[in-house]
Structure 1
């Protein structure tokens, strides 16, 4: 027997086994390290996503705004948003001296300088026509006549209302991409029922241009949302109970918003009583008088906040039955109404295309 050859063979087997064990150990170590790395990477990414949501707020248009958004670069857009809203007011604010809309109101025509006037005219015309005049930005002279800003509104007589109605009507102006003109000298515009929503769209479009995909923008109670919140869920918005004194329920509903805008209008806090009749601070442009319809809160979800803002105001004017008929013609608009029936009992109505977004 050749002992030297047997020893060499055994030694070779031992060394091969050791090499294999070393390789197996190395593979195991690499596998564990890979799992550890991936687990910690996912953990860190989750932690980053939690802290990367940025919150900014401020004041604008006589109210406040709140914006939450996800940005991996942790950029703060507050200064840019404030500048954008200030520029917006220079165009459409009826409270800012020298604004484009006030300049138009005091003249026969106006050539657009900023990019906001013409788009809101175009959107207003669409809602005016679809609502059969229930939404009408030329209502401004009637708002001035009733003067809801006072503690006790002015009660104009029927002769004055009839006189003012002669120059109420969106068909009494004409516009194109460059200029807006009056057909009657006394025509005045007020975009307070649509401009605030439009300003949210302007900020939204700015943030989208900066690469933001997950955000929620709220201004004066109106909002537009995209993507998901910090928990990875759709943004959910609560609808207040307009009669909290009647029950312990603070929220009538919670609505999830999936890349849409939402606006709520209501007369349950803004109203006055005259000769035993209760009137809301919403004027029907078709009659010239304030209304208090069966709808006491109108929430509208639409592709843009400009649309949601305009339609939530419009449905306060039309009332429930007319609103239902109009909604049939608006496939991209959905609504949640709180209304009073004939006996004064509070009830709700949800359009079919919104029912799946009601989570309470």
Structure 2
């Protein structure tokens, strides 16, 4: 064999060797032949609750410091518990020009869901929440006259906004995004991690979840739904729902309620009546493309009740639902939309 042929063979072998190393490093060869990238687990506290985040990263990067900073900045915009936040500054004034990038997206989503839910979802419930004051051990019980006065400045159609600012069309209108902001904060963190090149991840905050890809076992992310029976412990599950590049949120009054003079009041306010809801749905779980949507709609369906929820879901085909409700005899039943049935374990 002449030297030219030998050199050609050696060159080919070298190229194949380099290509093999590249394929291994980039996980393109058979996964069984490549070391599995580790999953990173990040936990912390935010928004008066806790968060748990899991993602697969070949470099095992820990994003906790950036996530905590991001969530603090988010609260500076939309938290009604954060002194000096953008939302409180709007509530105290006639208008507000946006500084941070979070206020406008929530306004846009709120407007769409307010309209689609026929007013069942309405972030202008803030003065009603203050009147009932569920934060106290024994909430206030406002009378009908007080509620009727407050309802004069409740209604999302009483504000206007554009790309730069939000204004009040009626004095004393105030916003409360607690039924949508937590879901949106999960989307913000989720997008931050996705932008780092992560493909498999799960972000949970306050029981709401958004996930993509698979978990450490290579399975779809599975989320447990609490059993709302009074005697059931928090560890007992009514169902398990698998999600694929989706978000999930559950709203319910089965643990957040108080009893006054024999009447049971939940902590979800009907923005149309000004009083806590007393509907057949006791737990509403929504699966949606984003957690902002899932969060808002799970609250809205607690207000609409089962039959109106079914009508809305027939039009909002991007949503899936699992409802736990009480029938006319007071017995607990479940309702599952057809587009969720194959992903739910009872």
TM-score (norm 1): 0.86
Greater Cα offset, 234-243 or 272-281: 272-281
2:224 aligns with 238
Deviations 1:155-189 (A, max 9, x none): 11111111100000000000011000001120000
Matched, 1:48 2:48: no
1:115 aligns with 101
Deviations 1:93-133 (A, max 9, x none): 00010000000000000000000000000000011001111
Pick from 260, 269, 276: which aligns with 1:283?
269
Matched, 1:256 2:226: no
1:41 CA drift (Å): 7.9
1:318 aligns with 304
Any conservation in 2 of the 1:244–1:250 contact (CA below 8 Å)? no
SS of corresponding position for 1:166: helix
Any conservation in 2 of the 1:204–1:224 contact (CA below 8 Å)? yes
1:246 CA drift (Å): 6.3
Any conservation in 2 of the 1:295–1:338 contact (CA below 8 Å)? yes
1:265 CA drift (Å): 0.7
Count of residues in correspondence between the two structures: 320
Any conservation in 1 of the 2:230–2:254 contact (CA below 8 Å)? no
1:304 aligns with 290
1:270 CA drift (Å): 1.0
SS of corresponding position for 1:177: coil
Deviations 1:40-96 (A, max 9, x none): 985562x433xx100000000000000000011111111110111011000000001
Structure 2: segments with no counterpart, 5+ residues: 1-19
SS of corresponding position for 1:113: coil
1:249 CA drift (Å): 9.2
SS of corresponding position for 2:272: coil
CA 1:42–1:227: 2 relative to 1, 3 Å = closer
Deviations 1:126-157 (A, max 9, x none): 11001111110000000101111112111111
Q: Within 2, Cα distance between the matches of 1:201 and 1:275?
A: 41
Name the larger-Rg structure.
1
Matched, 1:353 2:315: no
Q: Within 2, Cα distance between the matches of 1:244 and 1:352?
A: 28
Structure 1: segments with no counterpart, 5+ residues: 1-33
Q: Within 1, Cα distance between the matches of 2:33 and 2:227?
A: 41
CA 1:346–1:103: 2 relative to 1, 3 Å = same
The residue correspondences of 1:58-77 to structure 2 (distance < 5 A) are 58-77=44-63
SS of corresponding position for 2:167: strand
2:279 aligns with 293
Q: Within 2, Cα distance between the matches of 1:87 and 1:333?
A: 29
SS of corresponding position for 1:155: coil
Q: Within 1, Cα distance between the matches of 2:85 and 2:189?
A: 19
TM-score (norm 2): 0.89
Greater Cα offset, 269-278 or 323-332: 269-278
2:315 aligns with 329
Q: Within 2, Cα distance between the matches of 1:196 and 1:139?
A: 16
